Amino acid sequence: MQDNVYLPQLARVVRIADEVAGERAIKTYHVEPLDSAGFEHACGQCAMLSIFGRGEMMISIASSPLVKEYKQFTIMRTGRVSLAFHELAVGDVVGMRGPYGNSFPIEAWRGKNLVFIGGGVGLAPIWPLITTAMAQRGDFGDIGVFYSTRSSSIMYRAELEALRGQADVHLEGWRTHQAGVAAGTAEQTVTAENSVAVVCGPPAMIKSVIQNLCQLGFADEQIFTTLENKMKCGVGKCGRCNVGKDYVCVKGPVYSWAELKKLPQEY
């Protein structure tokens, strides 16, 4: 983490990709720090991005820690600050500070089968895990990627298609995925034995998928998710991220299902 957690680094937008069009459009940004040192991060951590005079927002870092040249962020247009980001152009300068939160214990998963299940823009927080695992493909067993959306629009479409042949990739419609993820997963011979499942998406989708994974035999300790949407100040000072006794900014955002079950159902 930076020495001063409140002081943004200046960073330049070097690439913008339109992922999904429409009222809730999604764009992906590659941001390079003007100070070449930047900061290191781990899979699942977040950063605070700011546009001076417009505001700031906490967002998951969507690039692999193996990528040193830039940080990737995928942002859905939902409010005032995200709209300001959607108005950016390549070459614009933003503020960036972090990283914040804990991370996925990917080192402990070496040798295991990995199942990634993302819904909508919820694919972004687990994308660093997917790309890191693919870059170190020989360190893991079978890798399955399941993705669902409310429409036919798919973010990271080209990247997901490029994974075929190295991973078991399934791009499902929202209705099919929401109602039948357990059946779909079982049909693809995903088993709980020696496996870890990572889920991220809308809260209702996360809860539904976790229930189905449990029915497939996954233990609570084998299922992970992230509450990055609860992250606010990043350092546990504002109090807006608390779930029961936990400040998600400090304890999370990454939790196993075993850990989440001990907390109030406020997430």
Residues annotated within the binding site are: 233, 238, 241, 249
DSSP state at residue 167: B
Binding residues for [2Fe-2S] cluster: 233, 238, 241, 249
Beta bridge partners of 223: 197
Rounded Cα distance between 206 and 151, Å, is: 18
Rounded Cα distance between 147 and 149, Å, is: 7
| DSSP E strands, the chain | 9-20, 26-33, 46-51, 55-60, 71-76, 93-100, 113-119, 143-149, 168-173, 195-200, 223-226, 242-243, 246-247, 254-256
DSSP letters for 39-80: ----TT-EEEEEETTTEEEEEE--S-TT--S-EEEEEE--SH
DSSP letters for 20-45: E-STT-EEEEEEEESSTT-----TT-
